[in-house]
């Protein structure tokens, strides 16, 4: 709770430090300014109050379950945010599934086959993933589909209730683009952790006892090398919730990250504050889940 309180304070203050507000933007776009009308709108929106008073009002509203009303759309913030959360969470979840399925096995194989041709190929594969922005890869995927197959993925969001197959195709392509980058990082961490564990005495003892390579690598070595990998997976998932801005824009997905940028440009304080708080909550919960998994995955880890 203390972390979330600190985050709320930082979010609120930084947002107010940005020059201008939605009233300035509206009057600038109209090319006409009436100080009386401007003051009236600021009073209606409550942004004429001191910053500390606005912060107290926001906290009081959040505690009571009222997320406020969008300045730009004149609608309750929750009604605007609610349909976007599943889109971003689904994309982040699919991306992490793909990244884990790609990153962990390739990291293990690269460690076991250290300094072989396969190891070098997999390391180049991971470096390429870290070097290529996911949104650029997404555009390459779209252009390749258009050029080779004469087909373009749907550019309008399709809900799973409307067409499940088309919905999965629409999300699979950006998930592949984003998941490839995350898989490269997971592969590097898995390889480093496995190389360290494979040099341990108990692994050499397992080999000396004649256990199969599969049992030694996957049952003994990977089990003891998984903790740093789980940490990276948790961090990456939290990062994806708020870091899919350009990817959602490229594939025209109505997600949280894309809407957050639009709200920042319009100085739509209620939307920005609540979306960033949502991302902060996801980060805190991800770290909590990772810490709890430590005790499950490694019996040596115990919390008092």
Q: What is the pLDDT of residue 303?
A: 55
- Predicted local confidence at residue 34, as pLDDT: 67
pLDDT tens digits for range 132-146: 887 788 888 888 888
Q: Global pTM?
A: 0.81
Separation CA 85–CA 271 (nearest Å)? 13
Residue 241 CA neighbour count, 13 Å, CB half: 20
Q: Which mean pLDDT values do the consecutive 10-residue runs of the chain (304 residues) have?
A: 77 74 64 66 72 80 78 83 88 91 92 89 88 82 82 80 84 88 91 88 78 77 85 86 78 84 80 84 85 76 58
**Structural domains for the chain:** 2-66 (no CATH), 83-297 (1.10.3720.10)
What pLDDT is recorded for position 132? 83
HEC states along 248-277?
Answer: HHHCCCCCHHHHHHHHHHCCCHHHHHHHHH
Q: What is the pLDDT of residues 259-283, one digit of tens each?
A: 888 888 777 888 888 888 888 888 8
Which pLDDT score is estimated for 264? 80
């Amino acid at each position: 709770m203390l972390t979330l309180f600190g985050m709320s304070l930082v979010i609120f203050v930084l947002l107010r430090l940005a020059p201008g507000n939605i009233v300035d933007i509206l009057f600038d776009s109209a090319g006409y300014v009436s100080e009386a009308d401007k003051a009236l709108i600021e009073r209606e929106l409550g942004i004429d109050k001191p910053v500390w008073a606005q912060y107290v009002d926001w906290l009081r509203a959040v505690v009571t379950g009222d997320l406020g009303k969008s300045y730009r759309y004149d609608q309750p913030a929750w009604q605007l945010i609610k349909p976007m959360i599943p889109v971003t969470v689904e994309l982040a979840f699919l991306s992490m599934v793909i990244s884990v399925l790609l990153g962990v096995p390739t990291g293990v194989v690269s460690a076991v086959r250290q300094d072989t041709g396969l190891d070098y190929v997999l390391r180049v594969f991971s470096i390429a993933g870290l070097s290529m922005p996911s949104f650029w890869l997404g555009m390459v995927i779209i252009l390749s589909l258009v050029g080779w197959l004469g087909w373009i993925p749907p550019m309008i969001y399709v809900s799973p209730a409307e067409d499940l197959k088309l919905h999965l195709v629409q999300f699979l392509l950006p998930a592949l683009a984003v998941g490839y980058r995350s898989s490269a990082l997971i592969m590097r961490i898995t390889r480093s952790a496995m190389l360290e564990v494979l040099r341990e005495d108990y692994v050499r003892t397992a080999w000396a006892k004649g256990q199969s390579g599969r049992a030694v690598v996957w049952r003994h070595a990977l089990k003891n090398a998984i903790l740093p990998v789980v940490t990276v997976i948790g961090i990456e998932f939290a990062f994806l919730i708020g870091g899919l801005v350009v990817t959602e824009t490229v594939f025209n997905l109505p997600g949280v990250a894309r809407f957050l940028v639009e709200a920042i440009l319009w100085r739509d304080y209620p939307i920005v504050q609540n979306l960033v708080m949502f991302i902060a909550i996801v980060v805190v919960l991800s770290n909590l889940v990772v810490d709890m998994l430590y005790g499950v995955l490694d019996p040596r880890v115990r919390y008092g």
